[in-house]
Amino acid sequence: MSVRLVIMGPQGSGKGTQAARIYQHFSVPAISTGDIFRDNIARGTELGKRAQEYTCCGELVPDEVTNAMVRERLRQPDAADGFILDGYPRNAAQVAELDVILDELGTRLDAVIQLTADRGELLERMRRRAEIEGRDDDTAEVIARRLDIYEAETAPLAQAYADRGLLVAVDGTGEIEAVTARVLDALGSRV
């Protein structure tokens, strides 16, 4: 099935987990910009070195770097029949660039899923994840900074997609399976 989705949600909303489960359901690649950055950082590539200056502190990597990386990734053959973008777009300039990239590919988004959860629950989940995964950007200070950036820059994008009739907002609290069921149900006839 060909399906082109964006999944948005603050850090700790279970976005990555849900992207992976939705990807299994539709058999299209889940493309996480955060994962691509972490992979490049681990391998010590030029892109990784550049990204690390920003990811370490919870800041957004500059658009020119991120956009070029996403353009390249969406041109790969495995994304031709669909994809789930996780963690991109994250600001208004990236929304505009994604439109251009999809235009170039002669395609468009089917839906934008927004996972919602309140700040208290998010902070608790991130604290638990930090214990388990030990990510260097999961310190209390950086977590708070990332949530602030999400609220200021990324959350407003939901409105832009809602205006286009693409937004599907889903309550991200509760059991993983229940959230996936809610997402698939909410996508309904859109995909």
The closest residue (CB) to ligand AMP is 34
17 vs 107 by CB, closer to ligand AMP: 17
Which residue in the list 15, 73, 125, 182 is annotated as catalytic? Answer: 15
> Interface mask (CB under 6 A) for ligand AMP, residues 80-99, using x and -?
-------xx-x---x-----
Region from 17-25, 52-60, 73-81, 119-127 binding ligand AMP, contact rule CB under 6 A: 52-60
Region from 32-40, 74-82, 164-172, 175-183 binding ligand AMP, contact rule CB under 6 A: 32-40
Report the phi/psi class of residue 87: left, alpha or beta, with left for phi > 0 and alpha for psi in -120 to 50: left
Q: Quick check: is 4 catalytic?
A: no
* Residue closest to 156 by CA, chosen among 95, 111, 109, 99: 95
DSSP reduced 3-state for 97: helix
DSSP reduced 3-state for 168: strand
Q: Quick check: is 108 catalytic?
A: no
Q: Catalogue the long-range contacts made by 159-163 (C-beta closer than 8 Å, 24 or more residues apart).
A: 160/92, 160/95, 161/6, 161/95, 161/112, 161/114
The answer to whether 34 contacts ligand AMP (rule: CB under 6 A) is yes
Residue with tokens 């031709």: 80
Region from 33-41, 99-107, 120-128, 156-164 binding ligand AMP, contact rule CB under 6 A: 33-41
Q: Quick check: is 49 catalytic?
A: no
Q: How many Å apart are CA 141 and CA 160, to the nearest integer?
A: 29
- Give the binding site for ligand AMP (CB under 6 A): 11, 33-34, 37, 54-55, 58-61, 66, 87-88, 90, 94, 137, 146
